[in-house]
Amino acid sequence: MPPSKVIKGSPSTPLSSTTLTAIKVLSLIRIATGAGCLIAPRFTCSLHYHDVPADQAFIVRMVGVREGLVGALLFSAEDKGTGDGGRRAIRRAVWAGIIADAVDIGSLTFGFIMGEVGKPMAGIIGTAAVGAISLAALILRGL
């Protein structure tokens, strides 16, 4: 039986330090990104060479809430009191982030093709999304 499968009632092996570190790093990056978008949306976007008019900052805040929630969900998913150590919850949180990042990449690509997104922003945000998906893949491999 693969190590990720747990026989009912048997304790699971603890997560490796690499996997735990990747979980915490990815969750804290998401939480920090979410907080930045929520608290200072225009400033956060200006770091990515994107000017957001004041009357559209609420959209950035909505993205910030999503990022913060996915990050908090991942941060709190480990549960040593369950039979699988929280692996199922971690897996679900990681997949939620992967899906959000994949949709972001699709939206970013469409926006770039339509001329709505410039090269600097597309490069920065696209690289961040690919990096998050790569780190998520490392986490899934360690579960």
Percent of the chain with pLDDT over 70: 92
Average pLDDT over residues 92-98: 97
Backbone angles phi, psi at 34, to 5 degrees: -60, -45
CATH code reported for the domain at 17-142: 1.20.1440
- Can you give the pLDDT at residue 4? 52
pTM of the entire structure?
0.83
- Can you give the pLDDT at residue 49? 82
Closest CA to 20 of 86, 66, 81, 70: 86
Non-local (6+) Cβ contacts of 126 within 8 A are: 105, 108, 109
Tokens at 47, concatenated: 């770091």
Three-class SS state of 50: coil
Judged on CB neighbours under 10 Å (0-12, 13-18, 19+), 138 is middle
Q: What is the pLDDT of residues 32-85, one digit of tens each?
A: 999 999 999 999 999 988 889 999 999 999 999 999 999 999 999 998 888 888
Tokens at 62, concatenated: 């909505």
Q: Are 87 and 14 in contact (CB under 8 A)?
A: no
Mean pLDDT of all residues belonging to the chain? 90
Q: Are 17 and 142 in contact (CB under 8 A)?
A: no
Q: What is the pLDDT of residues 100-116, one digit of tens each?
A: 999 999 999 999 999 99
